[in-house]
Amino acid sequence: MRLRRKRRLVRCLLKRHQLQPISDKTSDIQRGDILLMSVLRNEKIRLPYFLEYYRKLGVDHFLFVDNDSADGSGDYLASQPDTSVWRAKASYKKASFGLDWSNCLLREYAHGHWVLTVDPDEFFIYPFCDTRPVRALTDWLDGCAVRSFGTMLIDMYPQGPVDQYPYSEGQDPFEIARWFDAGNYMITKNPDYKNLWIQGGPRARVFFRDNPGKAPALNKIPLVKWDRRYVYVSSTHSLLPRGLNQVYDEWGGEKTSGALLHAKLISTLGEKAREEMQRGQHYRRSGEYRAYAEGLDEKPVFWCDQSEKYINWRQLEILGLMSKGNWA
């Protein structure tokens, strides 16, 4: 595992030359600032609400890698006062699906900071998030000597076909996608990295019903007190050193955990799926996006009579999808 981590660190350093700064405001980062890291391509329609959401949560500075967007995402981000942006024109796939780029920037700018690593369609939820900023959570984690914080990715969806509810730039996606699966999840433990592996939910029901083992993973560890020796090894599903992956309790209790509300299943999905299927830059030759593109032709409805309408984080705790643990 130590050798794997060193190889990852070497990879990210070798890929540093692929990152061209568009707007480098990292000199504004102050000690103790909470950072956010994201790699994206053609996501301008999502960015206004994404930035608004995380600013309200308490993020101080954003680090973005724009993988050669053609919709103005990079220029829009560069115009923001609290964002630093790099453009990468190289292959997303050959950069370990973007991990080499994010690991590089995290190593260089996030050492000693709490940092959220999320996609533009992921929205961080944690206990008391309706009344406490994210700094309250990180301060408590510091006091408990906890270095990483786990979440479950919860796919949100509308009540009818996704193309029936057009999404507009700057809109809160959960005005459209208000529903989620309360159950229908499978969980195992990865024997190598010791992280939990969760699958299921609406994408498994609709797109992978004949082969649920191919459904996307829903376990994430997005919030980490970063150290330059750390690396992500599989999206934000797992890290090295692997002790960072033990965000669960094996002795009968419950560790504090959160959720990522996932706004993928909205009207933008079809266009995104077709683009990524053609590019072939994602895992398994973009097989996941191929399943989306083919499945959307049938105009599926993700809602069913077992669907739950999202209310707040306390609802997710009652359903066992996150936990406040001993944080009071």
Q: How far apart are CA 139 and CA 146, in angstroms?
A: 10
**What pLDDT does residue 297 have?**
78
- How does pLDDT run across 158-189, given as a tens digit for each residue? 999 999 999 999 999 999 999 999 999 999 99
Q: How many CB atoms lie within 10 A of CB 230?
A: 23
**Spatial strand order in the sheet of 83-87:** 20-23, 83-87, 61-66, 35-40, 114-117, 219-225, 148-155, 258-262, 122-125
Return the exposure string of 257-266: e unless at least 16 CB atoms fall within 10 Å of the residue's CB, then b. bbbbbbbbbb
Q: Decide if pLDDT at 76 tops 60.
A: yes
Residues 6+ apart with CB under 8 A from 304: 205
Q: Decide if pLDDT at 116 tops 90.
A: yes
pTM above 0.85, yes or no: yes
7-21, 108-122, 142-156, 205-219: range with lowest mean pLDDT: 205-219
The half-sphere exposure of 298 on its side-chain side, counting CA atoms within 13 A, is: 9
Q: What is the enclosing helix (H) or strand (E) of 86? A: strand 83-87
Q: Decide if pLDDT at 281 tops 70.
A: no
Q: Which residue has the higher pLDDT, 252 or 83?
A: 83
Q: How far apart are CA 119 and CA 153, in angstroms?
A: 11
11-20, 174-183, 271-280: range with lowest mean pLDDT: 271-280
At residue 78, φ and ψ (nearest 5 deg) are -65, -25
Q: Decide if pLDDT at 219 tops 60.
A: yes
**What pLDDT does residue 287 have?**
65
Fold of 2-318: Spore Coat Polysaccharide Biosynthesis Protein SpsA; Chain A (3.90.550)
Per-residue pLDDT band for 282 (boundaries 50, 70, 90) equals low
The full 3-state SS of 5-20, as one line of letters, equals HHHHHHHHHHCHHHCE
**What pLDDT does residue 293 have?**
76
Q: Decide if pLDDT at 280 tops 90.
A: no
At residue 309, φ and ψ (nearest 5 deg) are -90, 125
Q: How far apart are CA 307 and CA 181, in angstroms?
A: 5
The full 3-state SS of 215-268, as one line of letters, equals CCCCEEEEEEECCCCCEEEECECEEECHHHHCCCCCCCCCCCEEEEEECCCCCC
143-157, 202-216, 263-277: range with lowest mean pLDDT: 263-277
At residue 63, φ and ψ (nearest 5 deg) are -115, 120
Per-residue pLDDT band for 286 (boundaries 50, 70, 90) equals low
**What pLDDT does residue 131 have?**
97
Q: Which residue do the tokens 């794997």 mark?
A: 4
The mean pLDDT value for 191-211 works out to: 93
- How does pLDDT run across 136-149, given as a tens digit for each residue? 999 999 999 999 99
**What pLDDT does residue 270 have?**
83
Q: Decide if pLDDT at 207 tops 60.
A: yes
Domain boundaries along the sequence of the chain: 2-318
Mean pLDDT of the chain: 94
